[in-house]
């Protein structure tokens, strides 16, 4: 998942927000030479993706954060280009979702978690 850093954001912050080791964040962003980001610097968060969520009447950022289990700061980070003070019903907001990775349990056999059939 690619995000735009905000002034003062750090590798340590993103490591805590997304439960991703700092070393993996640094390895996934070789062009970044410091642990403090520049505003609007593009950062790759491995193992995560953004999903679009259609808002319903009465949705607020606070209740979206509570129902998704993510801190409000994570949602504001993913939705920087939106006016988050007055969310429109039927509008779109981005939520983070952990990407599913196959688990190899023995050669030729794997378990795939969190898959959805549509």
Please tell me the predicted confidence (pLDDT) of residue 44: 93
The verdict on pTM exceeding 0.95 is no
Name every residue whose Cβ is closer than 8 Å to that of residue 3 and which is 6 or more positions away in sequence: 42, 43, 45, 77, 78
The pLDDT mean for the chain works out to: 80
In angstroms, the Cα distances linking 113 to 49, 50, 116 are 15, 18, 9
pLDDT at residue number 47: 92
Of the two residues 99 and 110, the one the predictor is more confident about is 99
92-98 vs 42-44, strand pairing mode: unpaired
Tell me yes or no: is domain 2-112 CATH 3.10.350.10.
Answer: yes
Candidate ranges 9-13, 34-38, 56-60, 91-95; pick with highest mean pLDDT: 9-13
Range 85-107 average pLDDT: 70
φ/ψ region of 58 (left if φ > 0, alpha if ψ in -120 to 50, else beta) reads left
User: Tokens 């509570």 — which residue?
Assistant: 66
């Amino acid at each position: 998942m690619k995000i735009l850093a905000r002034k003062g954001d750090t590798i340590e912050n993103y490591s805590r927000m997304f439960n991703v080791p700092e070393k993996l964040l640094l390895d996934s962003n070789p062009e970044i030479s410091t642990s403090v980001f520049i505003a609007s610097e593009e950062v790759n968060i491995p193992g995560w993706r953004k999903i679009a969520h259609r808002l319903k009447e009465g949705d607020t950022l606070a209740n979206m954060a509570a129902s998704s289990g993510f801190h409000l700061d994570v949602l504001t980070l993913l939705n920087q280009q939106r006016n988050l003070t007055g969310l429109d019903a039927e509008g779109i907001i981005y939520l983070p979702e952990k990407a599913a990775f196959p688990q190899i349990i023995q050669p030729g056999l794997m378990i795939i978690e969190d898959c959805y059939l549509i």
